[in-house]
Amino acid sequence: MRRSMLGRLAVAACSLSLLTAFAPSADAQGDGANGHHRSYKKVGYFTQWGIYGRDFQVQDLDANGSAGKLTHINYAFGNVSADGKCFTGNVPGEADAWADYSRPLDSANSVDGVADTWDQPLAGNFNQLRELKAKHPDLKALISLGGWSWSTHFSDAALTPASRKALVTSCIDLYIKGNLPQDGTRGGAGAAAGVFDGIDLDWEWPGSAGDADTKFRPEDKANFTALVKEFRTQLDALATSQKRKSKYELTAYVPTAAAKIDAGFDVRRIMRDFDFVNLQGYDFHVSGEATTAQQSALRARNDFSVDGTVEAWKRRGAPAHKLVVGMPFYGQGWTGVSGGGDGMGQPATGPAPATWAAGYEDYKELKKLADSGSYQVHRDRRGGHAWLFDGTTLWTYDDPQVLRAKTAYVREEGLGGAMFWSLDADTADGELITAVDRGLRGR
């Protein structure tokens, strides 16, 4: 997962009635191999920083109809400090309390159409999520912890039983209980209570390399398993103490590469405690590579693919209905492509120029290229992926046609649903999320 650019009740004394209340419903588990009559997960990541350059606000999800098609919003990201605790503040590159809960929204950018006042304890994105959930009562919001840039301290924080307990307690206190640090008139005890319905773990990656400064060690696999259990235990205990009608959800973003799965994930054990996991379904190849390639193929021979990722997790014991397929709302691009043909599998001189970061472009911008006539759309129908090529520059991406094939695959395989990174990359009218929603409905 990019940043600037992831159960079983554990309280031994729980009664049978609580076990029944917290058990997954038949609808959530699916209904037969084809997944008919299933309630699919539709999980979209909302980026904290998207409110700035992209000017993508929580209110836009309501205005473009996306909120009514989502089941979950994962808020990206929360950070873990060097002392192993969830934290926030106004620390450039590390935390942005201004975006999270301090920034006032005017009436035009507010979900409920009312401007924030100077003295309300909660403003910013968190308050807008609260308003969005009030308007869409079935929508859940989860705080996603880590990401590529902010997984730095996970390995240390998960190292011992005491450190795991301290980490989980701090995350629940900050995000689930909503006890925010005071930031002027904002924050305070319980200020964000009720905003988040659970936690999404996005540690990239336990037991194997991630970002340059992210520590990893062989013990991460066992420690990640224990950390997941600690989250499940504390979340369930809190739900019980609150007499909450539904449990707090626990999910994760997990990798495609078999080596990374085996290095960091005891699949059978962790899947007992996760409600579902979001599978990496993109970045199979990236623009930093010397040769153009697919980044998100549904199927591929001798290469990474969505189907290969699903099968890898299933072989290791993951139930199909708990596997949610990641789908990109962006493309990977190369320039200086030579060799002729359709450009795929050819040498390139480097990442393609783009709006925010070289080699990475939002779908809404790639759609403009496709519509301009200067690029030709190519498709590998058997592999289930598409790309744009103008003779020099190539972008590999998912468009509505590709997403229809992927949602059909989700239904055919009895999987849990679809996840997408990220909501701010879709068109103003929510073209991609509409394609996913219709596809999962079999339309």
Which tens digit of pLDDT belongs to each residue from 94-113? 999 999 999 999 999 999 99
Q: How many Cβ atoms are within 10 Å of 157's Cβ, its own excluded?
A: 25
pLDDT, tens only, 240-264: 999 999 999 999 999 999 999 999 9
Of 256, 392, 399, 273, give the one whose Cα is nearest residue 331. 399
Split at pLDDT 50, 70, 90, the class of 1 is low
Supply φ then ψ for residue 180, to 5 degrees.
Answer: -90, 145
Considering 204, 230, 361, 413, which one is annotated as catalytic? 204
Angle (nearest 5°) at CA 78 between 72 and 82:
155
User: Is the pTM value of this prediction over 0.85?
Assistant: yes
Split at pLDDT 50, 70, 90, the class of 83 is very high
Question: What confidence score (pLDDT) does residue 25 get?
Answer: 37
Q: What Rg, from alpha-carbon coordinates, does the chain have?
A: 21
Whether the per-residue pLDDT at 3 is higher than 90: the answer is no
Whether the per-residue pLDDT at 37 is higher than 60: the answer is no
Q: Which residues contact 351 (CB under 8 A, 6 or more apart)?
A: 287, 288, 333, 334, 335, 358, 359, 360
pLDDT, tens only, 402-435: 999 999 999 999 999 999 999 999 999 999 999 9
HSE-up (13 A, CA, CB side) for residue 366 = 30
Split at pLDDT 50, 70, 90, the class of 32 is very low
Return the CATH number of the domain spanning residue range 16-329+400-440: 3.20.20.80
Question: Does residue 320 contact residue 30 with C-beta atoms inside 8 Å?
Answer: yes
Q: Is 204 a catalytic residue?
A: yes
Question: Does residue 216 contact residue 208 with C-beta atoms inside 8 Å?
Answer: yes
Question: What confidence score (pLDDT) does residue 36 get?
Answer: 43
Question: Does residue 121 contact residue 181 with C-beta atoms inside 8 Å?
Answer: no
Q: Which residues contact 19 (CB under 8 A, 6 or more apart)?
A: 9
Question: Does residue 243 contact residue 291 with C-beta atoms inside 8 Å?
Answer: no
Question: What confidence score (pLDDT) does residue 52 get?
Answer: 98
Whether the per-residue pLDDT at 38 is higher than 60: the answer is yes
Q: What is the mean pLDDT of the chain?
A: 93
The full set of domain ranges for the chain reads 16-329+400-440
